[in-house]
Structure formats: C-alpha cells, structure tokens
C-alpha cells in the first residue's frame, strides 16, 4: 500500500484571527495538525504532562495557540493510534513570547519541552528489544521504526503467554506508561529499539522463571465482532 495522507478538511480548520480569503486559503491548503508538525500539532508525548514547559517556534505574526486531546495515560508512541485513555479536563496555561528566540537558540523547526514532575514514577522494568530485520529476514539499514515495531511484537508475544489475548497485550502497550527507547545506532547495519514495561502495573510477577509463565484467564477488555 502506498503512503496515504488525508487532505485538509476545511469544515474543522482553525485559522486563528485570519479572515476572508486568507482564512479560506488556510482551510483549503494549510498543513493538518493531526500529526506532529514543526509548529506543534498532535504532540501525544506521555511525559508532556502537568507542570511541563513547552517551547514552540512561531512562524507567523499574530499566531494563535490551541490545546486539546487530553490523555489520562498512554504508552510511548501511542502505538495503537487511538489506544490512549482519553479524558475530559481543563488546562491552566501561562504563555510568554521570546522575541527572536528561534535565532537566539538556533531553533529551525519542531518544539522542545521540559517535563513536569508528574510523570509516572517506576523503578522496575521488563524491557524487550528489537532490531531492524523484518519478518521475512530482510535486513533494513538502521530502520529504528522497524526495530521498535519488532520490540513491541516481542512484548505482545510474551504477554500472551500469561493469558492475555493479542488485542489485550496490544492495548496494554498503548495505554500503560511504557517507555520506548532508541537503544543503539552505532552497530551498523542494525539499529536496536527497546520497549520498557513497568512491572508494577501487573498484579502478578511477569519476570521469566525456570517454571515458565503462569497462564490465567485475564478477562476481556477488548472484544471483536
């Protein structure tokens, strides 16, 4: 399947203070903010939470700011697309402008942020690794996305041994505060990515032992029809 992208949807466009022809042009041609973009967009980053500071480059005079799509919890990368736990809420914001900040700090594109003190605190993890080799055995040169995909698949296969369905395990990685890491790019041609699962989110021990995994009925948190 070739790469796909949805065109701008004029009916839901946020054009700030723009009016008339300028507003219509933005609605028809403007870059969508569903994916993360150089001016922000859908920044679904699990550590961008309460108490954080975020620095957005500003490209247009009079640019506005909008916020939304609050998540109660999600894993690194939100690998299930809509798998985060959505929530209602409000935001208390303070906004400052650093005039000429992009030039002063050499920022050409994309946001920076400082995490707050409310990120999930875990100390014990079980980490799964993946390398940039696909399921057919084909080597891909430093493909960290593929490596992360493989790490996630390894974690799903592992959790299924304890009684989770494939969908349940997949949803755990999308909603729990797992951590994804780029763990190696120096040993070419393989990149290595890892996914860290906090042990404390389970009410049983997920560590491997000599006796093997204890499989149990984990109920049904996801049902397909």
pLDDT, tens digit (0-9, with 9 covering 90-100), for 82-126: 668 888 888 888 999 999 998 998 888 788 888 887 767 788 999
Q: Are residues 37 and 109 in the same domain?
A: yes
Asked whether residue 225 carries a pLDDT value surpassing 70, the answer given is no
Q: Please report, rounded to a whole number, the percentage of residues in the chain having pLDDT higher than 90.
A: 42
Q: Are residues 52 and 83 in the same domain?
A: yes
Tell me the pLDDT band of 46, cut-offs 50, 70 and 90.
Answer: confident
Cis status, amide bond into 189, omega within 30 of 0: yes
Q: What is the value of pTM for the model shown?
A: 0.79
Q: Using CA atoms, how far apart are residues 222 and 225, in angstroms rounded to an integer?
A: 10
Give the highest mean pLDDT range of 4-8, 39-43, 135-139: 135-139
Q: Using CA atoms, how far apart are residues 86 and 96, in angstroms rounded to an integer?
A: 28
Q: Are residues 58 and 104 in the same domain?
A: yes
Q: Are residues 111 and 129 in the same domain?
A: no
Q: Are residues 152 and 102 in the same domain?
A: no
Q: Among 6-10, 73-77, 203-207, 216-220, which is the least confidently predicted range?
A: 6-10
Q: Using CA atoms, how far apart are residues 112 and 34, in angstroms rounded to an integer?
A: 18
Q: Which domain holds residue 51?
A: 33-117
Contacts of 11 (CB under 8 A, 6+ apart): none
- In-domain check, residue 211: no
Between 221 and 154, the more confident residue is 154
Tell me the pLDDT band of 178, cut-offs 50, 70 and 90.
Answer: very high
Asked whether residue 48 carries a pLDDT value surpassing 90, the answer given is no
The answer to whether 73 and 44 are in contact (CB under 8 A) is no
Tell me the pLDDT band of 221, cut-offs 50, 70 and 90.
Answer: low
Q: What is the CATH number for 141?
A: 3.10.28
Q: Using CA atoms, how far apart are residues 58 and 208, in angstroms rounded to an integer?
A: 49
């Amino acid at each position: 399947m070739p790469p796909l992208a949805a065109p701008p949807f004029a009916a839901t466009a946020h054009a700030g203070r723009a009016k008339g022809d300028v507003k219509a042009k933005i609605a028809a041609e403007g870059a969508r903010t569903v994916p993360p973009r150089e001016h922000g967009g859908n920044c679904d980053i699990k550590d961008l939470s309460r108490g954080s500071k975020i620095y957005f480059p500003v490209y247009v005079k009079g640019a506005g700011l909008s916020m939304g799509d609050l998540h109660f919890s999600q894993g690194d990368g939100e690998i299930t697309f809509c798998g985060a736990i959505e929530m209602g809420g409000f935001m208390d914001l303070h906004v400052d402008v650093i005039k000429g900040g992009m030039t002063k700090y050499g920022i050409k594109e994309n946001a920076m942020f400082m995490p707050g003190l409310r990120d999930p605190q875990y100390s014990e993890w079980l980490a799964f690794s993946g390398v940039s080799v696909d399921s057919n055995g084909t080597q891909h040169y430093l493909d960290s996305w593929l490596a992360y995909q493989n790490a996630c698949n390894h974690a799903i296969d592992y959790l299924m041994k304890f009684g989770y369905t494939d969908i349940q395990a997949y949803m755990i990685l999308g909603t729990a505060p797992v951590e994804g890491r780029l763990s190696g790019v120096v040993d070419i041609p393989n990149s290595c990515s890892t996914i860290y699962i906090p042990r404390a989110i389970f009410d049983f021990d997920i560590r491997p032992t000599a006796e093997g995994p204890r499989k149990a009925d984990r109920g049904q948190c996801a049902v397909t029809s």
